[in-house]
Amino acid sequence: MLSVAKTNEDIIRKLWGELHGSGSKASLEMMTGFMDENIDWEVVPLGLKRHGIAEVKLLIQSSWNDMPEGGHHEITNVFANDEWVCLEYTAHGKITKELKHLNLNHPVEGQVIEVRSIDVFHIKNGKIDLAREYYDHATLLRQLGVKTLEDMPMQ
């Protein structure tokens, strides 16, 4: 019999594979099947918080729209216990369009990026009820041509 920690890790690996996979409607529905209907999802560096499956679906679709050309995500580590899963990875890709959510005042198309990230998930009764994304926002902005703190966009 699988341990709860191993089951939780498997849930996150499946979710993560779909999140960074096809980007299809079927994929989105499969992913939300792993989520509690009252899930809270936070993108910490952007101060972005979403509540409930409908809002999280919009967040995921938006991230698919901003996905860099040829982007891929390389898992570094996964840590799991009976309630929490932590996923460490590096995102690689080439920016193909304006990233409006970053409010940059110069074009970034064509820029190659590599950003280290950690996602933390809480799982209760086999469903993800909390997700937090942490990534190196300062490194991302430097790679996109923002040189100093004074040059960084504020929201």
* Domains of the chain, CATH where assigned: 4-145 (3.10.450.50)
Q: Say what the pLDDT of residue 120 is.
A: 97
CA 30 to chain centre: 16
Judged against a pLDDT cut of 80, whether residue 139 lies above it is answered with: yes
Q: Comparing C-alpha atoms, which of 128, 136, 134 is closest to residue 80?
A: 128
Q: Please report the pLDDT score of residue 96 as a whole number.
A: 74
Kindly state the DSSP code that residue 125 receives in the 8-state scheme. T
pLDDT of residue 111: 81
Average pLDDT over residues 23-27: 64
Spatial contact of 146 and 152, defined as CB atoms under 8 Å apart? yes
**CA torsion, ordered 17, 59, 79, 7, to nearest 10 deg:** -60
Asked which of 62-71, 84-93, 112-121 is least confident by mean pLDDT, the reply is 62-71
Mean pLDDT value across residues 121-146: 90
| Residue 66 pLDDT | 63
